[in-house]
Amino acid sequence: MLDISFISNDGSLTNSVELTEDFYLWLAKSKFSQIGKSVRRKIQIDGEEDNLSVVQLSKGNSKKLKEFFRDEVVRESEAVITKLGDSPSKEEYQAGTYRLRKLHELLKCVENENYQYLQRI
């Protein structure tokens, strides 16, 4: 599993979204990887100062990320509806909605104004 982490300005609030390698690779090849520029910043997390490579969630970067994730949620929703049909099994449902659930989780983090940085690990 790979992570994308969201970090508050003072490092007191963090959230890591775990992703499968396939999903992470898809994100890396998408427009997601072109939004914002990673820079090294000293951030204190859990009392320890770390020099992390992060993307600042400025208004511009945040807006672009929100648009990207919203567009992908719409695309993935259409794919899920088509793929799953009327009565999928629990396993089919979980496998078929993985990307959609992760896109929603990432979108919620970007929309949370408490997070100031995104770290692509």
pTM for the predicted model, two decimal places: 0.90
- 104/40 Cα distance (integer angstroms): 27
Q: What is the largest CA-CA distance in the chain?
A: 51
Residue 91 neighbours by CB distance under 10 Å: 8
> In the prediction, which pLDDT does 119 show?
96
Total number of domains in the chain? 1
Instruction: Encode pLDDT of 83-121 as tens digits.
Output: 887 778 888 888 889 999 999 999 999 999 999 999 997
Q: Which domain covers residue 104, as residue numbers?
A: 2-120
> In the prediction, which pLDDT does 98 show?
95
Instruction: Encode pLDDT of 9-47 as tens digits.
Output: 888 889 999 999 999 999 999 999 999 999 999 998 888
